[in-house]
Amino acid sequence: MEAAATAATAFVEAELAACANILPQMTSVYAWKGEIHRETEVVMLLKTRTGCQAALEAAILAAHPYDTPAILVLPVAGGSAAFLNWIAAQTAHGTAAGERP
């Protein structure tokens, strides 16, 4: 949980995400390298814009302990104009992968 909070803070500070929601204590059941695993994990939802997607994914991959973290990009069909504008404003200076720490 602490690692997720640290990563979320870094993503928001870098303006790669406007907001991070961390959902603790969920159970994942998955197959990996021929074995079924059941693990307690943390889910992080990140709100960003399309222009930050590649840099945010690179930052997630660099910070995540898994070889293949579950990264999904979901299209936004709509939403509150004020909220969508806030996301755009908060990520307006989001960095491209490798531009700055």
**In this structure, is residue 37 part of a structural domain?**
yes
User: Which pLDDT belongs to residue 96?
Assistant: 57
Among 92, 37, 97, CA closest to 63: 97
User: Which pLDDT belongs to residue 95?
Assistant: 65
CA–CA gap between residue 11 and residue 91 (Å, rounded): 10
**In this structure, is residue 78 part of a structural domain?**
yes
pLDDT tens, the chain, 101 aa long:
899 999 999 999 999 999 999 999 999 999 999 999 999 999 999 999 999 999 999 999 999 999 899 999 999 999 999 999 999 999 999 865 444 33
**In this structure, is residue 100 part of a structural domain?**
no
**In this structure, is residue 80 part of a structural domain?**
yes
**In this structure, is residue 99 part of a structural domain?**
no
Domain of residue 81 covers 2-90
**In this structure, is residue 13 part of a structural domain?**
yes
Residue with tokens 């997607």: 53
**For residue 21, what is the domain's CATH number?**
3.30.70.120
User: Which pLDDT belongs to residue 101?
Assistant: 32
Burial of residue 53 (number of CB atoms within 10 Å: 0-12, 13-18, 19+): middle
**In this structure, is residue 79 part of a structural domain?**
yes
User: Which pLDDT belongs to residue 99?
Assistant: 43
User: Which pLDDT belongs to residue 90?
Assistant: 97
Q: How many domains does the chain have?
A: 1
